[in-house]
Structure 1
Amino acid sequence: MSPTAPSRSPWRSLRHCGMRWWSVANLVSNTGTWTQLTVQNLLVLHITGSAAATGLSMSVQAAPALFVSLLGGAAVDRWPRKLTVAVSQALLGAVAFTTALLVALDRIDMTSLLVLAAVTGVVATVDGPACALLGNDLVPVEDVPSAIGVGALVHSAGRLAGTALAGLTVGLLGTSAAYAANGVSFLFVASVVPFLRPAPGAVKEPAVEVRPVPAPEELSVREGLKFFVRRPRLVALAGITGISSVLGRNYGLTLAVLVTGPLAGGAGAFGTVSTVLAVGGILGAVLGARLHRPSVRTVGLLAAAGGLLQAVAGLSPSLAMLLVLVLPMAVVESVSDTAGTAVLQTDPPTRLRGRVLGVWSSIGTVWGLGGPPLLGLLMEWAGARGALITGGLLIAGSIGAGLLLRRRDLPVPARATGREALGTAA
């Protein structure tokens, strides 16, 4: 009798009890987080009346990811995963409750907000990779793409719910209630974590000895860096994601200028484009969750296709044509993201995954901070259409050239094995 074919259902990770509970906890947590984020920007504007101050608070919270992520990832490898997640969630809850109390007592000011944002950012450098890897620890390796896809759907659902609840919460209970609700969501996750059990076939977390303060040599940040830079497929993944992030994907900037400029639309028209992008992201997450063992080659082909679609979108003569192209752009981007995340989280040895995610977080922060200004300069030079077309062609051309060079460098027997060999060796 032939072996049963592996399931391609995007929901297959949810057949495991631990993953179901983890998804519920993540939905609650994401809803609380987006409720707070929505209210926080309004709070900063209320305190300062300055949009620049709002941007500063966001930058202060993001900055630790650039400087501390390597140590955060090392700590994730050093400490037991479930304990790390429970403690980090409890700390984030404490920050949220502290903010709620200061707001309720009318003692909040810009300085205290920035300090609390910085503390949140530091804790997040540990919490982010720990939560990502804990979800993977609950399912077999073949179900990791499904777990990542489900996580993306949960994130989108939490964002929609949290944004909607923010206005309702503030209107009925006040601003401090939004922070308190987020604190409760963190405590809910911390209370669920101890009861999570990995499914049969899940990768076991390496045994570690817990000490109050890890010695510097035990953090081994250098070991994670060395593994990353000596792993060609991870370097290639970083290159693909980097060029896609800088020259594309910042659609909140490029498409906003295109819609309100050459296409003569207004805020409502851009809102429609944003909605289509969100729908495409959800559809892409579902399709990405169907992947079994994605490769860097898969990520590259999808990113190149997204670049070509972006270039064609730059030629759109009307809003209707742009909407037709935006949906597949968002779908391809979302599937590519799911595939890339699956490679990133499963390729390194278990003992190094936290550190590799720490390296990745630092790199991603550089792209996030540097991409919009560079894209803005390109738009100043070439306009919105030119930026979309030039960026899309550069993305597709660079990735295509890389794939061709990779194929040429492979030994003849490896090339002869076809698509499967390229997919696993990329």
Structure 2
Amino acid sequence: MTSSCLPPLIPRPRSPERGTRTPWRSLRHRGMRWWSAANLVSNVGTWMQLTVQNLLVLHITGSAATTGVSLAVQAAPGLLMGLLGGAVVDAWPRKLTAAVSQAVLGLVAFVTAALVAFDLLNVVSLMVLAAVTGLVATVDAPACALLGNDLVPPSDVPSAIALGSVVSSAGRLIGVACAGVAVGALGTAAAYAANGLSFLCVTAVIPFLRPYGGGATTTPDPPAPRRERFSGAGARDGLAFFMGRPRLVALTVITAVSAVFGRNYGLTLAVLVTGPLAGSSQDFGTVATMLAVGGIAGAVLAGRMQRPSVRLVGALAAAGALLQAVAGLSPGLLPLLVLVAPMAVAESVSDTAGATVLQTDPPPGMRGRVLGVWRTAQTAWGLAGPPLLGLLMEWAGPRGALVTGGLVIAAVIGAGALVHARRAAARRVSARPGDVVPVEPAAAARAAGPVHSEDLSPIG
């Protein structure tokens, strides 16, 4: 029996910044629920178009080489103008930037659908549309990524990014299925028209989104002069900031080496299964399914994170790389299936943690330009990776490529960790009693407790 003299037990209110660790915690926020639904529709439309696009382009051009050129034309703006695209995102309110870019991409899809329907699409118009798509994407990709993050507190950003990965995977499965039905009933133009409608769906939702805290999604105060932000100097400021941030440089190295020497499993594992393991295309389909399931499971697991670090990104990337090396030695299909599932989980968690660091480490006014630098680098290794991996496979075969690639990734990450540890030890040794030791923003954030929206560096 409780004494009447004791005060009633009042539960301590939970900090809205800390929340819970459930992978789906970002869905507590109404804006994120609407944003995720719109992105599911958008991903379905995108995969409907991608399912038929390569075959259509090959049919129009009649040349695999020309088809490759069209893909390069679409990728070129990301390589050449990623920095300027990021400067645009930092200069304008994200809601406006994302809405306009989504509307323009929808218009491109509708124009393509009309040209296909009336049999007017030719090589010239194809190249022009590819270039416009690539140019708009240099602004759209960082604007939409940062807009989604604005809808939740910083501690829920990993959940939002993981949710986006799950939505993307679900949209791919639904989109591929819908493409077959739509194209069979209405023709190839239907896939492009559906993608155009999906862009309009996102455009219609954006004006109703409210960022976490109820304010407007604008450029953080005090904003740099817009004319400066659009200039080459503004873009160079983003590059200088990126290169002066060791954790971002380390993240770039980890991701680049992982992309070049691993992750291209549609090539390496396909050749391994149908070659040395004497399997069929259906067997590779089973392996691909296991990879997809592991990726989704990893995204859900990554959603439990709150403040991931570059160290975690590297450790998981190295673990996935070592599993890749072991997978290359698989004597049969069953051991390969057992290995690829945890490999996909580790790599998916690593990717989500890396995206969280990239999108939340810079101060708010610099994030667009940081993503612009990242897009430029990502396009570069995306173009260089497949040819280099192909040469490695010609030299070492599929088993050798998987083993060598995995060991190279793990070795580079291990060497980087060793260098970082030695530098940290040297700083501790050189610090004399009474000296003030500089503390990284991330360490200061950990010492200060819960991360708040105004913190510039919430990553541990």
Deviates more, 1:298-307 or 1:42-51: 42-51
Q: Distance in 1 between matches of 2:341 and 2:73?
A: 33
Larger Cα Rg: Structure 1 or Structure 2?
A: 2
Q: Distance in 1 between matches of 2:225 and 2:312?
A: 41
Q: Distance in 2 between matches of 1:208 and 1:89?
A: 27
| 1:359 counterpart residue number | 373
The SS at the match of 2:121 is coil
Deviations along 1:94-115, whole A, 9 cap, x unmatched? Answer: 1111111111211111221111
| 2:453 counterpart residue number | none
The SS at the match of 2:231 is helix
| 2:156 counterpart residue number | 143
Deviates more, 1:293-302 or 1:96-105: 96-105
Quick one: structure 1 residues 207 and 187, their matched pair in 2 at CA, closer, same or farther if it must change by over 3 Å? farther
- After TM superposition, the score normalised by the length of structure 1 is 0.93
Q: Distance in 2 between matches of 1:389 and 1:302?
A: 17
Q: Distance in 2 between matches of 1:213 and 1:187?
A: 30
| 1:74 counterpart residue number | 87
Q: Decide whether the 8 Å contact of 1:41 with 1:54 is kept in 2.
A: yes
One-letter amino acid of the counterpart of residue 224, structure 1: G
- After TM superposition, the score normalised by the length of structure 2 is 0.87
| 1:118 counterpart residue number | 131
Structure with bigger helix share is 1
Q: Distance in 2 between matches of 1:184 and 1:98?
A: 12
| 1:388 counterpart residue number | 402
The SS at the match of 1:264 is coil
| 1:131 counterpart residue number | 144
1:412 aligns with 2:425: no
Quick one: structure 1 residues 12 and 389, their matched pair in 2 at CA, closer, same or farther if it must change by over 3 Å? same
Deviations along 1:341-379, whole A, 9 cap, x unmatched? Answer: 000000011001000000000101111110111111111
One-letter amino acid of the counterpart of residue 412, structure 1: R
| 2:51 counterpart residue number | 38
| 1:374 counterpart residue number | 388
Report deviation, 1:212.
9.8
1:152 aligns with 2:165: yes
| 1:195 counterpart residue number | 208
One-letter amino acid of the counterpart of residue 139, structure 2: V
1:295 aligns with 2:275: no
| 1:240 counterpart residue number | 254
Aligned residues: 423
| 2:449 counterpart residue number | none
RMSD, aligned α-carbons: 2.6
Quick one: structure 1 residues 280 and 48, their matched pair in 2 at CA, closer, same or farther if it must change by over 3 Å? same
Quick one: structure 1 residues 307 and 423, their matched pair in 2 at CA, closer, same or farther if it must change by over 3 Å? farther
Quick one: structure 1 residues 228 and 209, their matched pair in 2 at CA, closer, same or farther if it must change by over 3 Å? closer
Q: Which runs of 5+ in 2 are unaligned?
A: 1-10, 432-436, 447-458
Q: Decide whether the 8 Å contact of 1:79 with 1:209 is kept in 2.
A: no
Q: 2:326 aligns with which of 296, 312, 321?
A: 312
Q: Percent identity?
A: 68
One-letter amino acid of the counterpart of residue 181, structure 1: A
Deviations along 1:163-193, whole A, 9 cap, x unmatched? Answer: 1111111111111121111111111111110
One-letter amino acid of the counterpart of residue 190, structure 1: T
Q: Distance in 2 between matches of 1:304 and 1:18?
A: 36
| 2:178 counterpart residue number | 165
Q: Distance in 2 between matches of 1:143 and 1:248?
A: 29
The SS at the match of 1:220 is helix
Report deviation, 1:200.
2.7
Q: Decide whether the 8 Å contact of 2:88 with 2:230 is kept in 1.
A: no
Deviations along 1:209-258, whole A, 9 cap, x unmatched? Answer: 89998774387001100000000000000011111111111111111111
1:60 aligns with 2:73: yes
Q: Distance in 1 between matches of 2:106 and 2:257?
A: 36
